[in-house]
Homo-oligomer: A and B are copies of this chain.
Amino acid sequence: MNGAESLVRTLVAEDVTVCFTNPGTSEMHFVAALDRIPGMRCVLGLFEGVVTGAADGYYRVAGKPASTLLHLGPGLGNGLANLHNAKRAHSGIVNIVGEHATYHIKYNAPLTSDIEGIAGPMSNWVRRTSSSQTVADDAAAAITVARTAPGNIATLILPADTAWGPAEKIGKAKPAPIRTVVSQDAIRAAAQALLKGGASASLLLGGAGLRGRALELAGRIAAKTGCQLNAEFAYPLLERGAGRVQVTRVPYVIEAATKLFEKTTHMVLVGTGEPVAFFAYPDKPSVMQPPSCAVTTLAKVDEDIEGALTALAEELGALTVSPLKIAQASRPALPSGALTPEGIGAVLGALLPENAIVVDESVTSGRGFASPTAGAPPHDWLNIVGGAIGWGLPAAVGAAIAAPNRKVIALEGDGSAMYTLQSLWTMARNQLDVTMLIFANRSYQILRGELAGVGAGTPGKNANEMLTIGNPDLDWVSLAKGHGVEGGRATTLEELATQLKRGLASSGPYLIEASL
């Protein structure tokens, strides 16, 4: 057994069974080990942003880490933006980065770089393995970190000679540690805040608070106290649709977010922090709740959120109360006419299949989708958490690998989709069940609003050059075809419905260009 084999055996033994890869020469022994050892599914990305974004989407849906395989510092650099998103989403990833052989580093060959330096800002843990004999234990340590709640980026640097040198061991990770139980004081303080605030209190949920029993408990608490139920703006996964407790997401636009909280006197945080502005703007606030609002933390993102909500419901006598704000099953009628954001939302709401996974990087185009899809059959909604665009298509890859029997629907701005369009090829090769809607407004539309928002005026010639992505228009059907993905174009709502039905009927990837 060599170091690479001991690494792969350790991963597989610890149920890390998917490897999103873009390898190079220094990773060839790892690649060879994947040949010899059964149990690992290898998914190639033609760009590293696909690899790390897929690992993020995979974790959110599978609830366990995948591994990656990246090629030295520059390969890691290419994956860094989606590693940032994953870190912000608290997704666990065993992020393996190949490196020159230990004795070769001093020669400063062209691809040499400070891998720890590059990895640090986007990792929760970084370790360089020192010999083929220690790879197994180092891998086990990385797995332990990656699956410690709420999920961490564990970067393991693997010099080539530690992969090809001899090894004997298969590593053993620690069982996922149990989440820290919150204190009685925190529970009592949260109960008092909700009782005092009544309808002027907000229970702001994030992380694991937006799923399963935690979400249901939040509904019971709202029924008992009358509090508002809110979701953090950037959440990893929200369970929603008919029969589930509805929450109101904090809006992106500052004026809308501050309006949502303008009468909030008490805010109780569960698995998230204070709502803050995505960006700073001259003369606008950075914090969304009023200065007079009392903020209480019930549970941090890494703590036992479901347990805390159970204890809070018990404290309030809400455990057996029927949950409030359950979404009723209802779909909008299929609309007709020009492609508008409202109309697109209605098409989505009319056709969204049960148990779908919606991967949402629709940016400006999707701001109104919550309402028309609220009564669709139960589904999961994933958002970009770290704000580094180019997340959606890779995350859809990972979600589809994690849940092969569910339909994945990716909602994508055209500007965002372009960052990691290589994802299309990985979908084609693996025949992933992903239907994509590309909102082709030929523009960094969000930046038009932002230019005004920061008080920088209206765009002139140079600014227009930088805010439009037309001239020439991207032809998304050709881009899809080039990657081996079937696609079609919709210029009306009727066409969109036809196209979406076609995508949903397919079991492989299908791309729809919605020409706005």
Chain A interface (Cβ < 8 Å from any Cβ of B): 21, 23-26, 28-29, 31-32, 34-36, 40, 42, 44, 46-47, 49, 73-75, 77-78, 80-81, 83-85, 88, 100-101, 103-104, 107-111, 113-114, 117-118, 120-122, 160-161, 164, 234, 273-274, 276-280, 282, 286-287, 385-388, 390, 415, 418-419, 421-422, 425, 428-429, 446-447, 450-451, 453-457, 459-463, 465-467, 469, 471-484
How close is A164's CB to chain B, nearest CB, in angstroms?
Answer: 6
What residues of B have a CB within 8 angstroms of the CB of A277 in the complex? 104, 107, 109
Can you show 12 pairs from A to B with CB atoms below 8 A apart? A26-B280, A31-B447, A36-B460, A74-B85, A77-B388, A109-B279, A110-B385, A160-B454, A164-B282, A478-B481, A479-B479, A479-B482
How close is A512's CB to chain B, nearest CB, in angstroms?
Answer: 15
What residues of B have a CB within 8 angstroms of the CB of A117 in the complex? 117, 120-121
Q: Which of B31, B36, B84, B459 contacts A74 (CB 8 A)?
A: B84
* A23 with B482: CB separation less than 8 A: no
Chain B residue nearest to A386 in the complex (CB): B110
* A451 with B32: CB separation less than 8 A: yes
How many Å lie between the Cα of A122 and that of B47 in the bound state? Answer: 19
* B111 with A461: CB separation less than 8 A: no
* A107 with B286: CB separation less than 8 A: yes
* B456 with A31: CB separation less than 8 A: yes
How close is A181's CB to chain B, nearest CB, in angstroms?
Answer: 25
Given contacts A80-B80, A103-B286, A118-B118, contact A21 B466 (CB under 8 A): yes
Q: Which of B160, B457, B480 contacts A32 (CB 8 A)?
A: B457
How many Å lie between the Cα of A109 and that of B84 in the bound state? Answer: 12
Please give the count of copies of this chain that the complex contains: 2
Counting chain B CB atoms within 10 Å of each CB, which of A80, A386, A450 scores highest? A80
How many Å lie between the Cα of A327 and that of B386 in the bound state? Answer: 55
* B114 with A120: CB separation less than 8 A: yes
Q: Which of B32, B287, B447, B474 contacts A463 (CB 8 A)?
A: B32
Given contacts A419-B78, A463-B31, contact A287 B107 (CB under 8 A): yes
Chain B residue nearest to A81 in the complex (CB): B74
Q: Which of B32, B122, B446 contacts A456 (CB 8 A)?
A: B32
What residues of B have a CB within 8 angstroms of the CB of A77 in the complex? 77, 80-81, 83-84, 122, 388
How many Å lie between the Cα of A282 and that of B166 in the bound state? Answer: 13
What residues of B have a CB within 8 angstroms of the CB of A273 in the complex? 108
Given contacts A46-B415, A107-B277, contact A25 B450 (CB under 8 A): yes
What residues of B have a CB within 8 angstroms of the CB of A104 in the complex? 277, 279-280, 286
Chain B residue nearest to A429 in the complex (CB): B471
* B29 with A454: CB separation less than 8 A: yes
What residues of B have a CB within 8 angstroms of the CB of A469 in the complex? 44, 46, 425
How many Å lie between the Cα of A429 and that of B77 in the bound state? Answer: 27
* B465 with A42: CB separation less than 8 A: yes
What residues of B have a CB within 8 angstroms of the CB of A465 in the complex? 42, 44
What residues of B have a CB within 8 angstroms of the CB of A42 in the complex? 462, 465-466
How close is A106's CB to chain B, nearest CB, in angstroms?
Answer: 8
How many Å lie between the Cα of A459 and that of B77 in the bound state? Answer: 27
What residues of B have a CB within 8 angstroms of the CB of A475 in the complex? 481-484
Q: Which of B103, B428, B456, B473 contacts A164 (CB 8 A)?
A: B456
What residues of B have a CB within 8 angstroms of the CB of A455 in the complex? 164
How close is A192's CB to chain B, nearest CB, in angstroms?
Answer: 26
How many Å lie between the Cα of A103 and that of B85 in the bound state? Answer: 23
How many Å lie between the Cα of A455 and that of B406 in the bound state? Answer: 41
